[in-house]
Amino acid sequence: MTLVVSHEVPDGSLPISAMKEELSRAYVHMLASSCGLTVGEWSQDYDCTDVTLSSSVDYSPNMYGPSIAVQLKCSARRLMRRDEGIALALDARAYDRMSRTNRSNPALLCVLAVPVEVGRWLELGADGLLARSHMYWRWGHEFPALKDGQGSRTVRLPRANPESVDVVGGAGCAGIGKVPSELR
């Protein structure tokens, strides 16, 4: 299948990195809104949280109103896609903050994979909006331990984990209903 470039981005537009950040946020907003979640935006990314997904559902007896801290990444690197999934290097500080098991709300790393050419990210037609992207995820508490003195660590996000309404939502939307029992 040949992908058609739907548009050109004029000189002077947002830098590609900023466009990727905006697209990953928009992607999460679309998924969250389709399952009734609130998306909280943060003005700083100090604690490795770009957005927070929250539910107002009572998952009695375990919890009421759970939330997930989401770290968003977006990449168009061709070499990033591997047969077993996506690989992304995180610096030790981010890796440590996301992998802590004593967090008050679990961390979820989400990586949006997009085509290299910006004009192929989205296509608007008579049938609606087509996003040529996939978001892959992994819970921070599932990251393997960091070795002492290690400056960074590669996280593997399996192809079996493409973000979807079922994952983000499922029984309670946005994985919130699927928060591992040890974190509830």
Domains of the chain, start order: 16-183 (3.40.1350.10)
User: Residue type for 49, please?
Assistant: T
CA distance 77 to 16: 13
- The position carrying tokens 């905006």 is 22
Mean pLDDT to the nearest integer, 115-123: 87
- pLDDT, tens digit (0-9, with 9 covering 90-100), for 165-176: 444 443 334 444
Contact 110, 72 (CB under 8 A): yes
- Asked whether the predicted pLDDT for residue 20 surpasses 60, the reply is yes
- pLDDT, tens digit (0-9, with 9 covering 90-100), for 129-142: 888 888 889 999 99
pLDDT band at 162 (very low <50, low <70, confident <90, very high): low
- pLDDT, tens digit (0-9, with 9 covering 90-100), for 73-114: 999 866 455 566 788 899 999 999 999 999 988 999 999 989
Q: Is the pTM of this model over 0.85?
A: no
Mean pLDDT to the nearest integer, 150-172: 65
> How much is the pLDDT for 3?
59
Contact 84, 158 (CB under 8 A): yes
> How much is the pLDDT for 91?
94
pLDDT band at 41 (very low <50, low <70, confident <90, very high): very high
Which of 128, 71, 74 has its CA nearest to residue 94? 71
Instruction: Quote the tokens at residue 135.
Output: 């978001």
Cα dihedral value 9, 76, 29, 170, nearest 10: 150
CA distance 19 to 21: 5
- Asked whether the predicted pLDDT for residue 8 surpasses 90, the reply is no
Omega within 30 of 0 (cis) for the link into 10? no
- CB within 8 A of 69, min separation 6: which ones? 47, 48, 49, 52, 103, 105, 106, 107, 108
Using DSSP, state whether 117 is helix, strand or coil. Answer: coil
